[in-house]
Amino acid sequence: MWEELERGDGGADAGQRLARGLRERPARGQDTPGFGHHLYPAGDPRASALLARILPRRPEWERLIEQAFELSGQRPSVDFSLVAVRRHLGLPPGAAFGLFALGRSIGWLAHGLEQRGSPDVIRPRAAYTGIHPDAA
């Protein structure tokens, strides 16, 4: 979506291009990139936490988010917020994925440290209910 906004002169018609794109996507069977998450229908808390730090410095992005919500009914996802952080910090394209991977790896390290400090094996609270692999 950012790339769509950056095409052209970036002037007053940027909002019109965004609105047109947001209206046309559902008609083409497309989701709004960077908006909506099936696990967080009321809004992605990760996105909210990241955007809360940069939106005060980027009011034009807040307007973009408001317009996207009005047109799509969806709030920003962590994907949108990571791209916003990347752009705010002046990092190169593709760095948003690196930021995501960094956050994920920190979580893995935390799980490893937690496991190391426990005498028992930590079991996830989920149970597989599908077909047993040997039966397939």
Q: How many domains does the chain have?
A: 1
Q: Does a structural domain hold residue 19?
A: yes
pLDDT at 14: 59
d(CA 100, CA 103): 5
Q: Does a structural domain hold residue 113?
A: no
Q: Does a structural domain hold residue 80?
A: yes
Name 35's bridge partners.
76
Q: Does a structural domain hold residue 87?
A: yes
- Do residues 35 and 74 lie in contact, with contact meaning Cβ atoms separated by under 8 Å? yes
Q: Does a structural domain hold residue 128?
A: no
pLDDT-derived band at 109 (thresholds 50, 70, 90) equals: very high
More confident residue, 111 or 20: 111
pLDDT-derived band at 130 (thresholds 50, 70, 90) equals: confident
Phi, psi dihedral angles at 89 (to 5 degrees): -85, -5
Q: Does a structural domain hold residue 49?
A: yes
What are 56-83's pLDDT values in tens digits?
Answer: 999 888 988 998 888 888 899 999 999 9
Q: Name the residue range of residue 58's domain.
A: 2-29+43-101
Please work out, in degrees rounded to the nearest 5, the angle formed at the alpha carbon of residue 19 by the alpha carbons of 41 and 89.
70
d(CA 64, CA 66): 5
Dihedral sign of CA atoms 104, 106, 108, 114 in order: negative
Q: Does a structural domain hold residue 54?
A: yes
Catalytic residue list:
37, 79
